[in-house]
Amino acid sequence: MKILFSMMIIISIILTLLTMLLNFISKKSFYDREKNSPFECGFDPKSSARLPFSLHFFLIAVIFLIFDVEITLLLPLLLTMKISNLLNYTFIVLIFIIILLWGLYHEWNQGALNWTN
């Protein structure tokens, strides 16, 4: 166990030193005007390339993604219904669905689902 721990520390030190060395050696220029400007076939851009997007649309997409992943967690429960105890299965599914509905109710109360705001 001591050998594993000592090797982990040695590897961490080597990685830290290499990262610091590469940061000092690299010739990156964060203020390079040409690299930071948008490219449109050699022409000057007509408008800003970094348009703002709707934060509310982003929140709706994240909520959809979360609930979509939770639905995919519900699907394997159908396959386990055959091999598990019916009382335990019902209890687990009800708790899972109650948590989902509680999250939906919370998002609804916070106003995240109202598109007109």
Note the pLDDT of residue 43.
63
- Tell me the pLDDT band of 8, cut-offs 50, 70 and 90: very high
Do the Cβ atoms of 53 and 86 come closer than 8 Å? no
Q: Please check whether residue 62 lies inside any domain of the structure.
A: yes
Q: How many domains does the chain have?
A: 1
The pLDDT tens digits for 56-85 are: 788 888 888 888 888 788 788 888 888 888
Does the pLDDT of residue 111 top 90, yes or no? no
3-state SS class at 54: coil
Note the pLDDT of residue 18.
94
Q: Please check whether residue 13 lies inside any domain of the structure.
A: no
The pLDDT tens digits for 77-109 are: 888 888 888 888 889 889 988 988 898 898 889
Q: Please check whether residue 7 lies inside any domain of the structure.
A: no
Note the pLDDT of residue 26.
75
Q: Please check whether residue 100 lies inside any domain of the structure.
A: yes
Give the domain extent around 68. Answer: 55-110
Q: How far apart are CA 74 and CA 86, in angstroms?
A: 16
Instruction: Report the percentage of the chain scoring pLDDT > 90.
Output: 18
Does the pLDDT of residue 116 top 80, yes or no? no
Q: Please check whether residue 31 lies inside any domain of the structure.
A: no
pTM for the model: 0.48
User: Residue ranges of the alpha helices (H) in the chain?
Assistant: 2-25, 33-36, 55-80, 86-110
